Amino acid sequence: MGGRKKQQAPKAAKKYTIPTVFDCPFCNQHESVEVKIETEAAVGNVFCRLCSASFQTSVHHLMEPIDIYCEWIDQSEKLQKEMDSKDKKTLKAATGDFQDDFDNEAEGEGDYADEQEEPAPMMKKTIENPEEAAPAKDDDAEGEESDDYE
């Protein structure tokens, strides 16, 4: 007769910890960005150890490091879009709206949209006598087979 089966202690559930170290979007290094939250000052700091990219934002008591990191990514994307639009405006001003006319022509809306382009003079070449345009054949080679394939 056996004794009673001992009860096993319940296994402790694994706690998931929210990461505070992330990948840098600028230098593409793995786990090089640290996020630190200063609750007393209500400030969150993001800093890359390798490329020295940094970001600082205000935080509240519910924010976690991942929230601050995502806010940094969002702000970076927003700034990149603004820079792209400024570059387009600068290019447009520098070219004297030439690029805009070119885009409109491609869409069929510009000043020259109704005009049909004539092909270049070299492209207009017509062949009046088709026999002249055909490549010359050797009369000797027509009936003979080549020995190259044997």
Task: For residues 137 and 144, give the distance between their C-alpha atoms in angstroms, rounded to a whole number.
Answer: 13
Domains of the chain: 21-106 (2.20.25.190)
Q: Would you tell me how many other CB atoms lie within 10 Å of the CB of residue 59?
A: 20
Predicted TM-score (pTM) of this structure = 0.52
What pLDDT does residue 4 have?
A: 77
Average pLDDT over the chain, rounded to an integer: 75
Kindly state the average pLDDT of the residues 2-27: 85
Kindly state the average pLDDT of the residues 107-136: 53
Identify the bridge partners of residue 21 per DSSP, sorted by sequence position.
34
Q: What is the DSSP string of 61-115?
A: TT--HHHHHHHHHHHHHHHHHHHHHHHHHHHHHHTTTHHHHHHHHHHT-STTSSS
Which has more confidence, 48 or 17? 48
For residue range 42-96, what is the model confidence (pLDDT) as tens digits? 999 999 999 999 999 999 999 999 999 999 999 999 999 998 888 777 767 666 6
Task: For residues 91 and 33, give the distance between their C-alpha atoms in angstroms, rounded to a whole number.
Answer: 35
Task: For residues 90 and 117, give the distance between their C-alpha atoms in angstroms, rounded to a whole number.
Answer: 30
Residues of the chain by 3-state class (helix, strand, coil), percent to 5: 35, 15, 50
The DSSP call for residue 3 is: -
What pLDDT does residue 115 have?
A: 56
Element (H, E) at 22: strand 21-22
The DSSP call for residue 123 is: G
What pLDDT does residue 41 have?
A: 93
For residue range 37-49, what is the model confidence (pLDDT) as tens digits? 999 999 999 999 9
Which has more confidence, 76 or 126? 76
